[in-house]
Structure 1
Amino acid sequence: MPSHAAFRSTRFALGLVAALALAACGGGGGDDEDHAHEDHDIDTAGRLAIAENGSPTLRLHDLDSANVVASFTLANSPSAVYASPGGRYALALQRTQDTTQIVDGGIWQEDHGDHDHDYKQDPRLLALRVDGPQPTHYDDRAGQAALFMDGRAATAQNASALLLTDASIGAGQVAATLPLTAPMHGFAEPNGEHLVTSALVAGATAPTQVEIYRRQGSAYSVVQRLDALCPGMHGSYTQAQTTIAGCSDGALLVRPAAGGNFAATRVTTPSGISTIAGHPALARFVGIGNSGTPSTTRFYDIDPATDAATAIAIAGWGEGRLRRAHGFDRTGRTLFVLDDQGTLYALQREAGAWTTRVTVPGAVPSMPAAAPFPAFAANGARDEVYLSDPNGRQLLVLDTGQLQIKQRVALGFTPSYLAWLGIAR
């Protein structure tokens, strides 16, 4: 591990390069300007935001220097930590306290017209706080993200959705807001200029339908409510204009139709789906849900091109095994799944089917019996995935090219949530 002195030297050098490059952007021309533009790229692995369990502390680990470069005391212990759509900011949701705080990770990229300009600075806690009753689901799609507030029935606070972008966060505001008419545990999925949200049937306490809204500046106008029912609606993802939601008997696929409207298609599965895994580079979805006695996690490949679902058989996944964490690598080629015994599985889709490429028993030697369970975060600039080990108070670094654990990093505290921040390559 580099010394603190070595880190300070590295940070100073990077800051100096950025300063010189910024000066070059302001004037000059010819060969000098072209040469200066070559220095706008920063070779950085990014930073990892790690929340400490039961504590308001959020640490920023610099993956280039292997040092904690900043530690922030939030108002409350986070209920989740997510990266902003552009990867610059960490959003620390505090569900029961009705607020979300935001940390600038200090690494970002700007489009300067004839070149992209990279920056690396010290992290900082923003003054901007996003308030609302019970912020819960966060869905990041194609440069914009929706934060869904469940609302609270006991105090007659309705659900709502907020649209966020890196630009809006940098300007100290949300990009758009959508107030809903009832409290519900639901979702909002950005789908181009539209927002697909969960919706309640009159008199129901849980959502079973979806509504479509079109953005108009900083607000939304309703387009339609779809008649199709999705009992037990939970979990969602959007890829290539298809939004999918999990149902107790399968999934609901929602996509644009003629005349500016949307249409829904039902896909049935032998057991329910409550989590949807997806990746922008993967033209299909993975539905995940528990069923049976003993309760067992089941996996389904869902193809939006054929509206068909096929069971995924993970080699060695027996009855009674439960998923505790999952995540794709940056390319969307490999899906990692961790079970309740600490065994790690690496799945890849080959020859039209998902194949279990690697199994690592004891990847997490001592699995927690209750939350916080291990969490995944994929590096967008390197072929690495990170997996927290709460009981081991450590971080596992997975090489996604070799499909193996290449390092275990002692943290000195119990980690709960992870988010990778940086410039995706």
Structure 2
Amino acid sequence: MKISVQSRRWALSLLATALLAACGGGSSGPDGAHDSVSIATAGRLAMAEQGSKTLRLHDLDSASAAVEASYTLDNEPSAVYASPSGRYALAVQRLQDQVQIIDGGIWQEDHGDHLHDYKQASRSVAWKITGPRPTHYDVQAGKQAAFFMDGNATASPVQNAGVRLFTDASIARASLVASTDLNVPIHGLADPLDDKLLLVSRAADAPDTLPTHLNLHLRNGSGYSFSRQVATRCDGMHGSFSSGAYTVTGCLDGMLLVRHTAANAVDDGRKLTTRLRVGTIAGHASLPGHFIGVATEGTAPAPVTTRFYAVDAERASVTDLVLQGWETGRQRRAHAFDRSGQRFFVLDDQGTLVVTQRQNGGWAPLARIAGAIPAMPSAAPWPTLVTNGAVNELYLTDPVARQLVVLDSSTGAVKARRSLGYVPSTAAWLGITR
């Protein structure tokens, strides 16, 4: 059949219009390039309710942080995390061996010649991440993340530990990027960095059930291949963070510092010795090579005190980090960095918020806010600190007052207290990081 010139032009016009609409509109320059589409949005806060299967998404562009949508999960979540690029809420249901996913509806795409922001209604995702006892979550910010599945030694047959690696794009495809399984159940971790994965192992003479070593694995298609073991031992390994060219884990006698030396290689690691066991590592992608180790001193009924260590990976140094007014007997209930990585927030067990900031290559006091949480709970759920990646705010959940406390991340000052009408347990920020 012969098509007229006029018909061809009409068809091409329709095609161009469709392509432009698929890109979200906008104008084209003389070279046909589309304009960037930027949406001013503070994002959404995914928040779980204590003792409930309900997950609510609060719209932070609303003056009252109104609920954009509520979702009934399969089970009450044990934790809620944001996906690596911040689009999805990951509702961990550890005892049920699954992670449910909610699309937060705010994301950014790279269209080659421009960036395109989107804000739509949130929605439930049918696909789930599954595996025995999803527990430890490690993120390579903006790229990928891994859930470490502890496995289940009490199951029959025994369920071994494993790793599930994914990206925001793979969630959209309803698939993992890669996975691998260990030959034992173990409470461990798996830190991804590009095609490398630092994965735990435990020596036969381990003093407890925790890992003792890190093994380097390299991604091979949808799986991983063992490369070698990091030589330096780290008994009682627990907690990790990677930033810049370094990964740090907590140990019974300090921290293990591993340097990434090439795209497929790491060094043999070195021990940063401390007088206390370090069980948590805090860090930020915008503060490469700097970490904060969190340790506990004392055992009840004697005073129990949280202690902090500042790590400079480039210098392979560790020093005591003493927070302003932090006394013996004070315990950390929540902590977070601001979106710049330049300020570190800690909430103590009396409801006081202590803020320290980077200054002259170290950490210096910034603020101490008493009564950030007027009445602290006597048991979990404890308050949670959540950082907004788009604007200078942090959010502090108050389970007793059933409130969301909005903080100015540049000063730590309380900006607002918003009634929730329910007891918040765990939360994650979703949106476009600026």
Match of 1:37 in 2: 35
CA displacement 1:92-117 (0-9 Å, x = unmatched): 00011111100000001111111111
> 1:364 deviation in Å?
0.5
Distance 2:21 2:38 in 1: 12
2:340 is aligned with 1:331: yes
Distance 2:291 2:371 in 1: 28
> 1:397 deviation in Å?
0.6
- After superposition, residues 40-189 of structure 1 pair within 5 angstroms as 40-65=37-62, 66-142=65-141, 143-155=143-155, 156-189=158-191
Change (3 A) 1:128 1:307: same
Match of 1:263 in 2: 268
Match of 1:199 in 2: 201
Secondary structure of the structure 1 residue equivalent to 2:84: coil
Change (3 A) 1:173 1:391: same
Change (3 A) 1:32 1:395: farther
Match of 1:247 in 2: 251
Distance 2:272 2:111 in 1: 45
Could you tell me which amino acid in structure 1 is paired with residue 311 of structure 2? I
2:401 is aligned with 1:399: no
2:212 is aligned with 1:208: yes
Could you tell me which amino acid in structure 2 is paired with residue 364 of structure 1? I
Change (3 A) 1:25 1:123: closer
Distance 1:61 1:261 in 2: 41
CA displacement 1:169-208 (0-9 Å, x = unmatched): 0100111001111111111101221001121112643211
Q: Structure 2: state its 5+ residue gaps.
A: 1-17
- After superposition, residues 194-343 of structure 1 pair within 5 angstroms as 194-202=196-204, 204=206, 205-257=209-261, 260-283=265-288, 284-292=290-298, 293-343=302-352
> 1:21 deviation in Å?
6.7
Distance 1:26 1:63 in 2: 25
Secondary structure of the structure 1 residue equivalent to 2:135: strand
Distance 1:260 1:94 in 2: 34
> 1:225 deviation in Å?
1.4
Distance 1:145 1:400 in 2: 26
Secondary structure of the structure 1 residue equivalent to 2:169: helix
Secondary structure of the structure 1 residue equivalent to 2:154: helix
Contact 2:82/2:430 (<8 A) preserved: yes
Secondary structure of the structure 2 residue equivalent to 1:30: coil
Contact 2:26/2:35 (<8 A) preserved: no
CA displacement 1:192-250 (0-9 Å, x = unmatched): 21001121112643211111100111100001112321122111000113111001110
Could you tell me which amino acid in structure 1 is paired with residue 359 of structure 2? E
Change (3 A) 1:256 1:23: closer
Distance 1:217 1:396 in 2: 44
Match of 2:8 in 1: none
Identity value in percent: 52
Could you tell me which amino acid in structure 1 is paired with residue 431 of structure 2? G
Change (3 A) 1:33 1:44: farther
CA displacement 1:129-169 (0-9 Å, x = unmatched): 11111110111113110101000111211100111100110
2:394 is aligned with 1:385: yes
Match of 1:4 in 2: none
> 1:257 deviation in Å?
4.2
Contact 2:27/2:35 (<8 A) preserved: no
Match of 2:383 in 1: 374
Secondary structure of the structure 1 residue equivalent to 2:268: strand
2:428 is aligned with 1:419: yes
Change (3 A) 1:23 1:359: same
Distance 2:292 2:145 in 1: 20
Could you tell me which amino acid in structure 1 is paired with residue 106 of structure 2? I
> 1:260 deviation in Å?
3.5
TM-score calculated relative to the size of structure 1: 0.91
TM-score calculated relative to the size of structure 2: 0.90
Secondary structure of the structure 2 residue equivalent to 1:96: helix
Match of 2:3 in 1: none
Contact 2:337/2:387 (<8 A) preserved: yes
The number of residues matched between the two structures is: 405
Match of 1:365 in 2: 374
Match of 1:16 in 2: none
> 1:26 deviation in Å?
7.9
Could you tell me which amino acid in structure 2 is paired with residue 246 of structure 1? G
Distance 1:139 1:321 in 2: 28
> 1:315 deviation in Å?
1.6
Contact 1:192/1:241 (<8 A) preserved: no
> 1:288 deviation in Å?
0.3
- Between 279-288 and 254-263, the greater mean CA deviation after superposition: 254-263
Distance 2:342 2:67 in 1: 30
Q: Structure 1: state its 5+ residue gaps.
A: 1-18
CA displacement 1:370-418 (0-9 Å, x = unmatched): 1111111111110001110111100011111233110001000000111
> 1:28 deviation in Å?
7.7
Could you tell me which amino acid in structure 1 is paired with residue 235 of structure 2? P
Change (3 A) 1:99 1:121: same
Could you tell me which amino acid in structure 1 is paired with residue 250 of structure 2? G
Change (3 A) 1:271 1:114: same
Change (3 A) 1:184 1:111: same
